[in-house]
Structure 1
């Protein structure tokens, strides 16, 4: 292909280009098996990214940035096939704060529509820690009640 450009001042420039080899690209797009594979990868990518974003959104300050495991598709693009969001399990300064933290951590773990076994394990750990904090809180309240309602009689 040859294109002649006339510039201001009478200068002309010739641009030569080799014809495009669309044959390889057309085969990728028109081959039904490859297109099916690309569609499958696109669906998996969307599902994985939505899953990890749900964790991150619900986790707030307890959730880190998502990281993805990717594969290169037949079209040369990278597709996410797995992922993770680190969730920090942080106890609070008080039992009430710990319970609040664990509720948010559990919500982050169970945020996706299809929690993984690891997600369920994190939720279970958060429940266990919250339960212990609840026991600690009840013990403190019991001690406070005993101390508060103690009456000394003097003769």
Structure 2
């Protein structure tokens, strides 16, 4: 097994081994190592004190700071559940993104958030209506929708009404087409029933 000298020195040897004039091994205290060890201990003690002060200061919050931390924790839970409700609506296109604030305890709390929602038309009025309904469901899913949520739902309702109007026009045109065909067919049938008169000169 090989151990480097620096390793031996670092693991606590406070002495050095030397040969004296008679070439006998002599152990001598290493004054540099002793001083260094004392300095290192002072530095360690200082850094430990600083860490203790930091942990004490974070543990010992004032009443106002504790109240603020409580408010931030409540807001964090509210924001996260609000955004989770949006995601469950069916029109969300990805995860939620949050805006954070650091509390007096050093932790980060979500104070705002958003979820992207896809408001796209469809290739048919029925598809557009389904898409609009999914957007409305996503926007209004939280128990306490924000003004932005109401605005998104309102835009989706406008899109849905336009799709419903388009669908009504298509149904109306289809019915009119059938009515036109039916009246034309009746007209043609009536003409066939009446015998044609041909005047022949006598």
Question: Which bin holds the TM-score, normalised by the shorter protein?
Answer: 0.7 to 0.9
The answer as to whether partners of 1:52 and 1:85 remain within 8 angstroms in 2 is yes
Structure-1 residue corresponding to 2:17: none
Please point out which of 167, 171, 174 is paired with 1:137. Answer: 167
The answer as to whether partners of 1:28 and 1:35 remain within 8 angstroms in 2 is no
The answer as to whether partners of 2:58 and 2:106 remain within 8 angstroms in 1 is no
Please point out which of 99, 108, 112 is paired with 1:82. Answer: 112
How many residues align? The count is 141
Structure-2 residue corresponding to 1:119: 149
Does 2:62 align with 1:66? Answer: no
Query: Once the two structures are superposed, what CA deviation does each residue of 1:63-122 show, in whole Å capped at 9, x if it has no partner?
Result: 332111111112221111111111111111110111111011001001111111111000
CA shift, 1:28, in A, is: 2.6
Gaps of at least 5 residues in structure 1 are 1-12
Does 2:70 align with 1:39? Answer: yes
Does 2:134 align with 1:104? Answer: yes
Task: Select between 95-104 and 70-79 the one with higher mean Cα deviation.
Answer: 70-79
The whole-number CA distance in structure 2 between the counterparts of 1:63 and 1:117 is 20
The whole-number CA distance in structure 1 between the counterparts of 2:88 and 2:56 is 40
Provide TM-score, normalisation by structure 2.
Answer: 0.64
Task: Work out which structure has the larger RCO, using CA pairs closer than 8 Å and 6 or more positions apart in sequence.
Answer: 1
Alignment RMSD, CA only? Answer: 1.9
Q: Which runs of 4+ in 1 moved over 3 A?
A: 16-21
Provide TM-score, normalisation by structure 1.
Answer: 0.81
Does 2:83 align with 1:52? Answer: yes
The whole-number CA distance in structure 2 between the counterparts of 1:147 and 1:29 is 79
Task: Select between 70-79 and 88-97 the one with higher mean Cα deviation.
Answer: 70-79
Secondary structure of 1:59's counterpart equals coil
